[in-house]
Amino acid sequence: QKEVEQDPGPLSVPEGAIVSLNCTYSNSAFQYFMWYRQYSRKGPELLMYTYSSGNKEDGRFTAQVDKSSKYISLFIRDSQPSDSATYLCAMTVYGNNRLAFGKGNQVVVIP
Partner 1 sequence: NAGVTQTPKFRVLKTGQSMTLLCAQDMNHEYMYWYRQDPGMGLRLIHYSVGEGTTAKGEVPDGYNVSRLKKQNFLLGLESAAPSQTSVYFCASSGLAASTDTQYFGPGTRLTVL
| Residue numbers at the binding site for partner 1 (CB under 8 A) | 4, 6, 8, 31-32, 41-46, 49, 88, 90, 92-99, 101-104
Using alpha carbons only, give the angle 5, 58, 27 rounded to the nearest 5 degrees.
25
Closer residue to partner 1 in complex, CB, 14/94: 94
Q: How far is the CB of 38 from partner 1 (least distance, A)?
A: 8
Closer residue to partner 1 in complex, CB, 32/61: 32
Closer residue to partner 1 in complex, CB, 8/81: 8
DSSP-derived secondary structure for 62-89: EEEEETTTTEEEEEESS--GGG-EEEEE
CA 63 – CA 52 distance, rounded (Å): 11
Contact 89, 37 (CB under 8 A): no
Q: How far is the CB of 44 from partner 1 (least distance, A)?
A: 5
